[in-house]
Amino acid sequence: MTEPVLVAVEAGVQRITLNRPDKLNSFTSAMHALLRPAFERARSDDAIRVVLLTGAGRGFCAGQDLSERDIRAGGPAPDLGATLEKLYNPLITAMRELPKPIVCAVNGVAAGAGASLALACDIVLAARSASFLQAFAKIALVPDAGSTYVLPRRVGMARAMGLALLADKLPADDAERWGLIWKCCADDRLMAEADALCARLAEAPTRTLGLIKRALDASLGNTLEQQLTLERESQRAVGGSPDYREGVAAFLEKRTPKFTGR
Ligand code: T3D
């Protein structure tokens, strides 16, 4: 049987491919059972220095597989809060707490929790034909898996409201222009650009990148005072690292640094 999530590690990059192309990689519980452990492995395995997340086929991820839900009239009301609590929320938390960069290559439509998944990554590249869709309101749901947190912070409240209330597709070009994602690129360049970015990040000072990610995330809720303290503590931690020594030595010796990630 084909696995609904493929995971491979090579040259410091853990590639995770959502793999239910016929259903636009919409989320099933079987996918959840593979996806979160992949991020947990990325956390504990020193050989992994960057994660690349993408989708197989023409879509990135169409959100929750709606055929998994029992909506028969008169049937028991599904507790969708429970699915968030057990599956989506821990997944998004694991991604944000991973002290390593996550690159997302959005190869096609990212809808519902699929859009949230993409936006939970650190650097989001999208094919020009891709789009982002807050599909939730179309089926009378509230945006979840972190969307209501990320959207206003990235694009401002006016655009976040429009996206969430109207549930119209936002083309990748506009997503880049609005600051929702890092970059949009030609469809046939997407994977090459994502691979190049990951190769670069796999040679970067991983521990430092983890602390940069943590500091930027924390800044959204911190006062300046708290943020200055966090910067001080982060700098204190990396100041004793082998990669800092290597970075400065390489600068002084006018050569390219060889970071180990420690
Ligand atoms: O339930 C909980 O746990 C709460 C958490 C919820 C999180 C959520 O994500 S809620 C939002 C769920 N997602 C959606 O509502 C999006 C539904 N999909 C669409 O609106 C459209 O498929 C797209 C706009 C994404 C793409 O449209 P299009 O025309 O390019 O493709 P299509 O023909 O609609 O889809 C292709 C196939 O994928 C099709 O299957 P078929 O007919 O060829 O056998 C379609 O049914 C299937 N598919 C697409 N999205 C889903 C799906 N099947 C199940 N669930 C889906 N979400």
Question: Helix or strand or coil: residue 6?
Answer: strand
pLDDT classification of 76: cutoffs 50, 70, 90: confident
CA of 111 to the centre of ligand 1 (A): 8
pLDDT at 82 over 80: yes
For residues 156 and 37, state if they share a domain: yes
- pLDDT, one tens digit per residue, over 193-221 is 999 999 999 999 999 999 999 999 999 99
Q: According to the model, what pLDDT value does residue 84 have?
A: 98
For residues 14 and 127, state if they share a domain: yes
Rounded mean pLDDT, 167-185: 98
Question: Helix or strand or coil: residue 64?
Answer: strand
- 137 within ligand 1 shell (Cβ under 6 A): no
The rounded mean pLDDT for the chain is: 97
pLDDT at 1 over 80: no
Nearest CA to ligand 1 atom 20: 135
For a substitution probing ligand 1, which of 23, 107, 138 has the most ligand atoms within 8 Å of its CB? Answer: 23
Pairing of strands 131-133, 169-171: antiparallel
Number of domains, the chain:
2
For residues 48 and 171, state if they share a domain: yes
CA of 1 to the centre of ligand 1 (A): 22
For residues 132 and 231, state if they share a domain: no
Containing domain of residue 64, as a range? 5-202
Nearest CA to ligand 1 atom 57: 65
Rounded mean pLDDT, 149-176: 98
For residues 14 and 34, state if they share a domain: yes
Domain membership flag for residue 245? yes
- pLDDT, one tens digit per residue, over 161-171 is 999 999 999 99
Rounded mean pLDDT, 149-159: 98
Q: What is the CATH number of the domain that holds 48?
A: 3.90.226.10
For residues 90 and 161, state if they share a domain: yes
pTM, entire model: 0.98
CA of 183 to the centre of ligand 1 (A): 25
Work out the percent of the chain whose per-residue pLDDT is above 90. 96
Single-letter amino acid, residue 103:
V
- 111 within ligand 1 shell (Cβ under 6 A): yes
Structure letter (DSSP) for residue 136 = G
Domain membership flag for residue 210? yes
Nearest CA to ligand 1 atom 47: 23
Query: Which of 235, 198, 244, 236 shows the shortest CA–CA distance to 14?
Result: 198
Could you count the other beta carbons within 10 Å of the beta carbon of residue 186? 11
Dihedrals phi, psi of 48, to nearest 5 degrees: -100, 120
Structure tokens at 135: 């599909």
- 139 within ligand 1 shell (Cβ under 6 A): yes
- pLDDT, one tens digit per residue, over 219-243 is 999 999 999 999 999 999 999 999 9
